[in-house]
């Protein structure tokens, strides 16, 4: 797609999705303002390495990149960045991630995912942002077992505080869309994987243990399915939403309300692969790509987890022609190659 020379603010710019998104936007010629607090939820070395990669790409691309080590929980510092650079588009990916971590550290989720997101919304209002895209999560479907997950389904039964904060984000964004005419799109991400991924997620944990010949923990005795989605497909979907802000649903029926659209300029979309894979199949492919067999340690279901996820992405396809193109077999090979190179195996 051609550059539109816009100023786009990306929070969580040192994160897995944020860094990859920044790179692709810079390649298009966009001016990207990154914001990340570089916290120690996992090793900041990986975050800094991602930022170094973004910097390198910006040196040979038509776009520009400036990154600020700031926390979205501090509204005064955030507002200074908005005031100076006047972004027309904001992509909010900053959040305290992780389902299991939310059981032990709930306050971190309240501060980042609720207080921090409220600051983002208020900055978007104060500085007349034209398009907000924010990260929701497939975890909002919680106790729902009606597959595939569709945006029209109820998400009122979260099974983790992390999921509850993401559902809250959708409600908060909708109120700002209604009250202040802020176009906002919430994207429910489904199990993103690929090079430069988060160390607390299954692919990284599995790869580390397999290569060190240590047991891998497989929960629910391996009876899990996930809608694994490759990072480049996710980024492509986000960029397409940057190019098409949310609009009102002119045929919205208030007597039979559709949870994914509104009388306000607010939309919610699943963004996934629409092809759930058994966890044991994922492990088998990872073993093949790494050239090592896993030592399997089967465990019972963990609190906050769900047995399966499967996305329906029909609405996102209709909105921006989103069609994931990366086969799981190819994505795992790319991930395994990067992992061995980056960690020196």
What's the pTM value of the predicted model, to 2 decimals? 0.95
Report, as residue numbers or ranges, the catalytic residues.
Answer: 162
The CATH number of 7-190+229-273+311-325 is 3.40.50.720
- 45 burial class (0-12, 13-18, 19+ CB within 10 angstroms)? exposed
Beta-ladder partners of 151: none
pLDDT of amino acid 3:
53
Boundaries of every domain in the chain:
7-190+229-273+311-325
Closest C-alpha to 225, from 251, 249, 248, 202: 202
pLDDT < 70 positions in the chain = 1-4
pLDDT tens digit string along 39-65? 998 999 999 999 999 999 999 999 999
């Amino acid at each position: 797609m051609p550059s539109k020379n816009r100023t786009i603010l990306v929070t969580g710019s040192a994160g897995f999705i944020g860094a990859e998104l920044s790179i692709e936007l810079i390649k298009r010629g966009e001016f990207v303002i990154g914001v990340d607090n570089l916290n120690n939820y996992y090793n900041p070395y990986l975050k800094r390495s991602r930022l170094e990669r973004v910097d390198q790409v910006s040196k040979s691309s038509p776009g520009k990149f400036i990154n600020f080590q700031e926390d979205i929980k501090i509204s005064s510092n955030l507002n200074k960045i908005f005031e100076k650079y006047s972004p027309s588009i904001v992509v909010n990916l900053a959040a305290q991630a992780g389902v299991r971590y939310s059981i032990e550290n709930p306050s971190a989720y309240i501060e980042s995912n609720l207080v921090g997101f409220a600051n983002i919304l208020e900055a978007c209002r104060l500085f007349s942002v034209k398009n907000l895209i924010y990260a929701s999560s497939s975890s909002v479907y919680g106790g729902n077992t009606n597959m595939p997950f569709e945006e029209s389904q109820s998400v009122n039964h979260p099974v983790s505080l992390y999921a509850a904060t993401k559902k809250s984000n959708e409600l908060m964004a909708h109120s700002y869309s209604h009250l202040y005419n802020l176009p906002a799109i919430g994207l429910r991400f489904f199990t993103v994987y690929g090079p430069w991924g988060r160390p607390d997620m299954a692919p990284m944990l599995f790869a580390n243990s397999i290569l060190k010949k240590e047991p891998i923990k497989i929960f629910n005795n391996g009876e899990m399915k996930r809608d694994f989605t490759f990072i480049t497909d996710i980024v492509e979907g986000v960029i397409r939403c940057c190019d098409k802000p949310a609009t009102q649903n002119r045929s919205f029926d208030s007597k039979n309300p559709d949870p994914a659209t509104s009388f306000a300029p607010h939309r919610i979309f699943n963004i996934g692969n629409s092809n759930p894979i058994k966890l044991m199949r994922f492990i088998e492919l990872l073993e093949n790509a790494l050239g090592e067999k896993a030592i399997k340690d089967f465990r019972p279901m963990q609190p906050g987890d769900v047995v399966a996820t499967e996305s329906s992405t029909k609405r996102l396809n209709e909105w921006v022609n989103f069609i994931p193109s990366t086969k799981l077999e190819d994505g795992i090979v790319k991930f395994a190659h990067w992992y061995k190179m980056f960690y020196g195996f």
